[in-house]
Amino acid sequence: MPIGSVILAFIIGALIVAVTGANPFDAYSGLLCGGFGIACSQGENPALQLSNTVVFMIPLLTTGVAVALPFRAGLFNIGAEGQLLAGSVACTAIGIKFAGLPAPVLIPMVLIGGMLAGALWAGVAGVLKATVGAHEVVTTIMLNYVAQWLVRYLIIGGPLQLAPGTSRSSPIGVNAQLPTLLPADNSLIIFGLPASVFRVHWGLAIALAAVGAFAFLLWRTSLGYEIRAVGQSQKAARYAGVSVRRTIIVTMLIAGAFSGLAGAIQISGVDHSLTDKYFSDTTGFDAIAVALLGLGSAVGIILAAVLFGALHSGGAIMQSDSGISSNLVLVLQALILFSIAANFVGQIARLIPGIRRPQALPPELPPAAPLMTEAAAPPPEPA
């Protein structure tokens, strides 16, 4: 289903490009070059393009986990964007306030501060869901708007503004910045370029560790079992002695911590200050597609994050090489998400003779049930 959805989205995207008078092959060759360093015809450095893809991929890993974990509990965390912004604000404030601390102390502080802020932001929706039944879709979406305007307030005339007339914060201290994997000076030449141009930072290791922690939590802990039990059936979970309210709140807190970590990593590893671009950032919304495309599994989230990171990175090269607007990338992302949500691939498969009709899900399962099927579960251990 995920592969079919991606293929279908690219076919429709090619038709859109062709109808508008451009060449789909030029468009997709530009995406391949910019995303994976393949088929570059204008002298682009393949290693640099891969590096850019990884930089775009890093926040999608942790925010993808932040959406997938609540899905397992039957919850829709549409607020990953707001939680990411909360984490970025906390990271910026701590990185500025305590700039004089040594790096081994300050870097964990900004990352943990971002996680706590994201957890607090998501915890509001979790508590409201568990206590008064407020739908998490509505509350998390509204909290996204609160976070976006809060960012603008802080950096435009607010306490974090760099200077009057600017729309950015002061930079965080040097000791709060995540180092890059390669030396930041020009003392080393890699693939024909100075090592300083490769922006991949240690946030990659942190994000991969977060995905591993997600998989371990979900499949190797009692809390993970409770999360999956609540997602399958709240009534059955209560009968088994699981506190549904506590599980909902804890799940949202953990999910928010993952998103807050993404915001902290972006500030500490890439931007080093809070800018106006965060007002229109879409990482948290892209994470919904990453979680759905990855079927809520750790490996699937990594593969989906690579794809979306490549699309983001390849858009600029596609526009410069073939003259096709990079907005095509946003169209492809929307088509992938729409195809998954509408189950177009499944509907098409039913129309093809000889393909077995898939079994329908029981009606009592929550809307996120497709993410909790055996297809996303790890294989059983041998007896």
> Which domain CATH number covers 324?
1.10.3470
Q: Structural domain of residue 9, as residue ranges? A: 2-376
Q: Is the pTM of this model over 0.85?
A: yes
For residue 97, is pLDDT > 90?
A: yes
**Maximum average pLDDT range among 31-45, 104-118, 282-296:** 104-118
The residues, any chain, with a CB within 8 Å of residue 36's CB and separated by 6 or more, are 46, 49, 50, 53, 310, 314
Asked, for residue 383, whether it belongs to a domain, the answer is no
Total tally of structural domains belonging to the chain? 1
CA distance 344 to 140: 27
Asked, for residue 24, whether it belongs to a domain, the answer is yes
Closest by Cα among 330, 58, 62 to 211: 62
What percentage of the chain carries pLDDT values higher than 90? Answer: 62
Asked, for residue 369, whether it belongs to a domain, the answer is yes
Asked, for residue 353, whether it belongs to a domain, the answer is yes
For residue 363, is pLDDT > 70?
A: no
Local structure of 243: helix, strand or coil = coil
For residue 321, is pLDDT > 90?
A: no
Asked, for residue 381, whether it belongs to a domain, the answer is no
Asked, for residue 382, whether it belongs to a domain, the answer is no
Given the structure tokens 């915001």, which residue do they identify? 263
Asked, for residue 59, whether it belongs to a domain, the answer is yes
CA distance 122 to 78: 10
Closest by Cα among 378, 369, 69, 380 to 232: 369
Local structure of 98: helix, strand or coil = coil
- Under the banding of pLDDT at 50, 70 and 90, the label for residue 217 is very high
Asked, for residue 293, whether it belongs to a domain, the answer is yes
Average pLDDT score, the chain: 88
pLDDT value at residue 22: 86
pLDDT value at residue 232: 92
